[in-house]
Chain A
Amino acid sequence: MTMSTFPWLTVLVAWPLVAALATALTGVGRGRPAAGAASGGGAFSAGTARTVALVGALVEVALVVGAFLAFDTGAAGTHQLTETYPWIPAFGASYAVGVDGVALLLVALSAGLVPLVILAAWHEQGGDAVRLRRYLATVLVLLSFMVLVFTARDVFLFYVVFEAMLIPAYFLIGGFGQGAQRRYAAVKFLMFSLGGGLIMLAAVIALYLQVPVDAATGLRPQDAFLTDNLTGLALDPMAERLMFAAFFLAFAIKAPMFPVHTWLPDVTQNATPGTSTLLICVLDKVGTFGMLTLCLPLFPEASRWAAPFVVVLAVISILYGAILAIGQSDVLRLIGYTSVSHFGFIILGIFTFTSVGVSGSSFMMLNHGISTGALFLLAGFAIARHPRHSQLVSDYGGMRTVAPVLGGTFLVAGLSALALPGLATFVSEIMVFLGAYGRWPAAVLVAVPAVVLAATYVLLTYQRMFTGPVGAEVAGAKDLGGREKTVAGVLVAALVVLGLVPGPALDYVREPAEVSVELVGATDPQPVLGAAEGSEQ
């Protein structure tokens, strides 16, 4: 089998399931702990499960590297590594996967974060081996879904995974969270997402019925749901707008965007930092990814029509998220709100319909995943050091003194979140601004203060938690251990590398962005942006 025909993506989808099964089975045969005695299993079983899960996740990373090697960067705008098989011919659904540059980066982000999350969760779940094993297995199942959702090239398949992945996510929040309100948060998350998803279902059905019927058989083609087959349909403008609205609502809930973001802070507050990392940094990207790869190409006219509204909401998200982040007392909740702000940037960039803006957004999906993931995981390390596991910023203080590495890496992650030049997020944020300035100058003028707000929430938090007199409760805290240093090191290194040498990563997003802009029927306001792009490089 040559490299080109190797089913990389199917293997990438299937392997985490195998790893999850292996993880789940590590404890079998040791006997179930007695009912009610929650802490059964023993350390040995937990260790085996952790190791199996970690190795499984690392193999997935290796497979992603393989997929990168098989991917032709020169044609990043076209979908590669494609596989297409009939799945439900009666409904026109196929199992069709393929990646362009953006999708590949997001797959890499998913696969890259999971081992870090597993490492970070090493001692989580209160030392309960059984729970930890189930948690890790669920994480791996979620990874499989995440890879599939980013690679799906069939709207039906995308929708199925989009909805089905809510179930493992729901259990991660509600079953393994550490907050007192975790069940409430899980149900809220599920109801918001399913609500949006079911409305999207109506639009999916409506879209399917727009596919012309084959005159000979009186049936729709058996691959009617392929994204390519649904692109460029001549839609009735009103119907197109309604369908766009339904898709967009589902994605905006997922993203999350003002005013349907309210589930997010509850989730980040109550889920484990690792779950939040996967949820906010990867899963929610499905929202913006869906806007980019489904809303724009499937409903170009409606996208252009809706762009002003979307941009207004995006700008509100940017400012609102940042302002609310400043006001939070719970550090995990705070990071959740910063994401609302960042997702505002991503959505703003997508709806600039300029290749610079869209590339910036695509790149930002990656960067935000890394920098926010770093913030969540590092905040989690800080919380683990607190005797009461308090999440309140005010319960900390001076941790830089007792845990300098933790403080330093947290600062770097924070600086990336506020888009300091030299760190990854800066490049993407400036691209979004540049792109937006060509199309929506007013929006940029209103949104720019968010940069200051971002500096406020990051630095204020850092100041309260890590500088000043050492808090009484954290005085005895130790600095990061080797395992935690690995997690922090990998993330910080990624931020620095992507910030200093963004070129290779941008090669993956530039062409897909041009394709998206072309599909939506917009043209770059070339002269201005061409110059801007040149100066920024």
Chain B
Amino acid sequence: MNEFVAPEIDWAVLSPVLVVLAAGVVGVLVEAFVPARARRVVQLVLTLGALAGSLVAVALLWDRVLTDGLAFVVDGTVLLTPFTLGIQAVVALLALLGVLVVADRTSTGQDAFAPTAAAVPGTAYEDAARQAGLQQTEIYPLMLFATGGMLLFPATDNLIVLFIALEVLSLPLYVLCATARRRRLLSQEAAFKYFLLGSFASALMLFGIALVYGATATVSLELAVSRLANPDSPVLTMMPDLVIAAVLLISVGLLFKIGAAPFHTWTPDVYQGAPTPITAFMAACVKAAAIGAMVRVLFTLAAGLDEPLRRDLETGLWVVAILTMLVGTAAGAVQTDVKRMLAYSSIAHAGFLLVAMVGLDEVGAQAVLFYVLAYGLATLGAFAVVTLVREQDADGVVLGEATHLSQWAGLGRRSPLLATAFSLFLLSMAGIPLTAGFLAKFGAFSAAVEAGAWPLAVIGVLASIVAVFFYVRLIVLMVLTPPVEETADDGVTPAGAVAADGTPDDGFRDGEGVEDGPEPARTGTLTAARALAGRAAVVVVASQGPTAVAITVCAVGVVLLGIVPAAVLDWTTQAAAFRPFGP
């Protein structure tokens, strides 16, 4: 009698995810059938259209989901709550902006990606590919697949689907990380690291899911929770601690994705090695999606756990949150590479996000939603700025990004608008009032205090002070410190200029650069150490448009959210007020 009955599928509920994944599939076909010269344009239109379509789908679903409280397909395989829709909207919006940064080839005419990522760095094949002017437009379908995974990640009640979404979002990112045009070894190392550690985290999560299934004989979160509440399973009576192991393992998978300590170690290496537009996309979108999934899973579980177990879970969150904030800010304060610094900053923000959600209540969910938006805009904008600040060799050929902090000295004089935007993003991350970051932090800390976690809020405040230090240090460097060198041939070696400048306040030591290892000169990148030795000048390349648009949108968003946030806050409150944790 096990006859297969086709389930009723409400396609509308799937639409935000489906639009993006379908466009990804079409994108793969475009690679096969559209001639090379038209490919980039077609892919770009397709990608932007799909993400915009996803946003529209979210908007169309909004009223319906808000009225009903939730909408789902086949027993919650895909399950939308207002909160989930909120996360999806944030992810789709940030992904849209991320694609703009990816698409920009700047005035150099080159995008950030290797002509063929498959070529071994330093081989004749690589040279040939570059000379042939090849370009990889697979980037766009890969981004769409990743985004599809991110949209699905927080939108399911089924742990297997959760896992699949995790893999769908992760695998394309592993590939994307390895595709940098410059510093290719670093990029490939980053990808490999990310892949290895990511697989490990995925495996742990899968093991956690298996334990849930073992204990409750279901992979539906909702069902598992209700069975936990009335434990009649023999496994549970025998091993009641199985649940805590399961929750722990699943949490590890999620914490890995948001980059919380002690599962953060991949973050700086990957953020540094990946092509910067991809870093921007990852830092903003993955964090939003993963924290969304975390809210769903943990909030749902917490509702079903009995008091001691729930307290264990909260204690665990406390420890991770404190550790994450401390690691992020303390390590961030000693970085000399702007991408690594932003990476540690994103770790610190993961800590603040955990502080927001530690109460496992609606106020926390609301704070999380606003926070990921504010954080995402600032981070994406900041990395987008990084893509435009480049090194230049003596012949005037523009090379890779100038990521050593000392190279950012005097950027404000060279390019006031860019420096202003970057300062704005840093101020927002630092949580200075009149920027989005302040209200996000305010919301996060008040949620924690309201939930009785005031020590976390106090630690958060103290961590913020340390974080302010390194954000401000960069602003000082950009705006107040004279440029290290105006041109490459002004006769003063930059290292000498730094020393002669003799400012004890910047706290930058020249010396060892980034640890990007042995690098073939032909990949056209000077290491930061050599840049300090005076080989490379720093130039700001002009955006072709898309990056400028993305930076502008982020900057305007950061300011508007900081000054007139009422509408967005109402929206997040609505999203969180209706059971963020599903049926």
- Binary flags per residue of A138-177, CB closer than 8 Å to B gives 1, else 0: 0000000000000000000001111110110001001100
Contact across chains for B427 and A88 when beta carbons are under 8 A apart: no
**Which chain A residues numbered 318 to 371 have a C-beta less than 8 Å away from chain B?**
none
Contact among B442, B457, B464 for A91, CB-based, below 8 A? B442
Contact yes or no, B438 A205, CB < 8 A: no
Give the chain B neighbours of A492 by CB distance below 8 A: none
List chain B residues, Cβ under 8 A from A89.
566, 569-570
Given A88-B439, A190-B472, verify A209-B449 contact (CB < 8 Å). Answer: yes
> For residue B412, which residue of chain A has the nearest CB?
A175
Is residue B443 within 8 Å, beta carbon to beta carbon, of the partner chain? Answer: yes
A184 within 8 A of B: yes
Q: Mark B467-484, 1 if CB is under 8 A from A, else 0.
A: 011001100100111000
Task: Give chain A residues whose Cβ lies under 8 Å from the Cβ of B445.
Answer: 201-202, 205
**B506 interface residue per 8 A CB criterion:** yes
Q: Which residue of A lies closest to B443 (CB)?
A: A91
Is A198 within 8 A of B464, CB to CB?
Answer: yes
Asked whether, in the complex, the Cβ of A209 is within 8 Å of the Cβ of B504, the reply is no
Asked whether B503 lies within 8 Å of A183 as measured between CB atoms, the reply is yes
In the complex, the answer to whether A191 meets B472 with C-beta atoms within 8 Å is yes
Q: With A35-B414, A174-B480, A205-B445 given, is the CB distance from A90 to B566 under 8 Å?
A: yes
- Contact partner of B468 (CB less than 8 A), chosen from A159, A174, A191, A205, is A191
The listed residue (A167, A187, A195) touching B476 by CB distance below 8 A is A187
Q: A209 to B433, Cβ gap below 8 A? A: no
Tell whether, in the assembled complex, residue B486 and residue A209 are in contact, meaning their CB atoms are under 8 Å apart. no
* A contact face: mostly helix, strand, loop, or mixed: helix
Smallest CB separation, A166 vs chain B (Å): 8
Q: Which of chain B's residues 463-510 have a Cβ closer than 8 Å to chain A?
A: 464-465, 468-469, 472-473, 476, 479-481, 486, 503-506
Q: Does B66 contact A (CB under 8 A)?
A: no
CB within 8 Å for A159 and B433 given contacts A88-B439, A187-B476, A201-B442: yes
- Cβ-based interface call for A519 (8 A): no
> Is the CB–CB distance between A161 and B570 below 8 Å?
no
CB of A440 closer than 8 Å to a CB of B: no
Check B272 for interface membership: any CB of A closer than 8 A: no
Which residues 536-583 of B sit at the A interface, judged by CB distance below 8 A?
A: 565-566, 569-570, 572-573
Number of interface residues of A (CB under 8 A): 37
In this assembly, does B454 line the interface, its C-beta being within 8 Å of a C-beta of chain A? yes
Q: How far is the CA of A321 from the CA of B515 in the complex (A)?
A: 49
Contact present for A206 and B472 (CB under 8 Å): no
A161 near B566: Cβ-Cβ < 8 Å: no
B306 interface contact, C-beta 8 A: no
Residue of B nearest to A36 (CB): B486
Question: A91-B442, A164-B434 given as contacts; is B461 within 8 A of A198 (CB)?
Answer: yes
Query: Is there contact, CB below 8 Å, between A163 and B432?
Result: yes
| Cβ–Cβ < 8 Å partners of A205 in chain B | 442, 445-446, 449, 457
Provided the pairs A89-B566, A191-B468 are in contact, do residues A35 and B413 lie with their beta carbons within 8 angstroms?
Answer: yes
CA distance A46 to B458 in the complex (A): 47
Min CB gap B415→A, angstroms: 10
Residues in A with CB closer than 8 Å to B450 are 209
In the complex the two chains form, is B433's CB within 8 Å of A183's CB? no
List of A residues within 8 angstroms of B458 by Cβ: 202
Give the contacting residue for A184; candidates B434, B505, B566, B572; CB below 8 A: B505
Query: Per-position contact with A for B281-320: 1 when CB-CB < 8 Å, else 0?
Result: 0000000000000000000000000000000000000000
Instruction: Indicate if the CB atoms of A88 and B566 lie closer than 8 Å.
Output: yes
- Cα(A503)–Cα(B250), bound, Å: 73
- Cβ-based interface call for A259 (8 A): no
Residue A186 lies at the interface, judged by CB distance under 8 Å to chain B: yes
Are B432 and A201 in touch, CB under 8 angstroms? no
On chain B, the residues within 8 Å of A182 by CB distance are: 480
Across-interface contacts of B454 in A (CB, < 8 A): 202, 206
Q: Is A86 an interface residue (CB 8 A)?
A: yes
- Given contacts A90-B573, A183-B476, whether A206 and B449 have CB atoms under 8 Å apart is yes
Chain B nearest CB, measured from A117 CB (Å): 21
Residues of B within 8 A of A191 (CB): 465, 468-469, 472
A187 to B443, CA, bound (A): 27
Whether A88 lies near B464 (C-beta < 8 A) is no
Please, which residues of chain A bring their CB within 8 A of the CB of B442? 91, 201, 205
Whether A91 contacts B506 by the Cβ 8 Å rule is no
Determine the distance from Cα of A162 to Cα of B438 in the docked complex, in whole angstroms: 13
Contact residues, A170-226 vs B (CB, 8 A): 171, 174-175, 181-184, 186-187, 190-191, 194-195, 198-199, 201-202, 205-206, 208-209
Q: Which residues of A contact B480 (CB under 8 A)?
A: 174-175, 182-183, 186
Provide the residues of chain B in CB contact with A87, threshold 8 Å: 566
Select which of A35, A163, A184, A202 is within 8 A of B461 by beta carbon: A202
Q: Which residues of A contact B566 (CB under 8 A)?
A: 86-90
What is the CA–CA distance of A290 and B123 in the complex, to the nearest angstrom?
Answer: 67
Q: Do the beta carbons of A164 and B476 come within 8 Å of each other?
A: no
Tell me, rounded to whole Å, the shortest Cβ–Cβ distance linking A242 to chain B. Answer: 10
Interface CB pairs A-B, < 8 A, 18 = A88-B565, A90-B566, A90-B572, A91-B446, A162-B433, A163-B432, A164-B434, A174-B480, A175-B480, A183-B481, A186-B476, A187-B472, A191-B468, A194-B468, A198-B431, A201-B461, A202-B458, A205-B449
**A-B contacts besides A184-B504, A209-B449, 7 pairs, CB < 8 Å:** A89-B570, A90-B569, A183-B476, A187-B476, A198-B468, A202-B454, A202-B458
